[in-house]
């Protein structure tokens, strides 16, 4: 089988992966919870700080980057930002 982006060739280290993560603007977030409800991997939650409820990304590694949270937010409080994740080590793969 020829190497593909998901199957590195022998002797070559695996490539870093790119994905987008939600960045939540606390000044725009009202804590309505719509983003939490549409998040398929359930990595967003609501937290209260300073008497205000806002959405928070709790597990960046678990985020798939699907952007459903940003699309659903009625207040434009979520922007997707690209990040480059380091490649997984060989013993972390299944």
Residue 4 pLDDT exceeds 80: no
Domain residue ranges of the chain, discontinuous segments joined by + = 26-86
Q: What is the CATH number of domain 26-86?
A: 3.30.70.3270
Confidence label for 71 from pLDDT (cuts 50, 70 and 90): very high
**Residue pLDDT, tens place only, 76-88:** 999 999 998 666 6
pTM: 0.71
Identify the pLDDT of residue 92.
Answer: 55
Q: What is the pLDDT of residues 45-55, one digit of tens each?
A: 999 988 999 99
Q: Are the C-beta atoms of residues 44 and 35 closer than 8 Å to each other?
A: yes
Q: Which of the given ranges, 12-16, 17-21, 49-53, 74-78, has the highest pLDDT on average? A: 74-78
Per-position DSSP letters for 20-81, written without gaps between them: EEEEE-TTT-----HHHHH-TT--EEEEEETTEEEEEE--GGG-----HHHHH-TT--EEEE
pLDDT of residue 84: 80
Nearest to 53 by CA among 61, 64, 45, 62: 45
Identify the CA nearest to 30 among candidates 48, 14, 18. Answer: 48
Residue 57 has which token pair?
Answer: 């990304």
């Amino acid at each position: 089988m020829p190497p593909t982006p998901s199957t590195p060739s022998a002797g070559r280290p695996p490539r870093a992966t790119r994905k987008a993560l939600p960045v939540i603007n606390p000044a725009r977030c009202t804590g309505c919870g719509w983003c939490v409800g549409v998040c398929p991997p359930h990595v967003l939650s609501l937290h209260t700080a300073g008497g205000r409820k806002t959405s928070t990304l709790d597990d960046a590694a678990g985020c798939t980057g699907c952007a459903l949270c940003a699309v659903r937010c009625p207040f434009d409080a979520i922007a997707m930002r690209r990040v480059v994740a380091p490649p997984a080590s060989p013993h972390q793969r299944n």
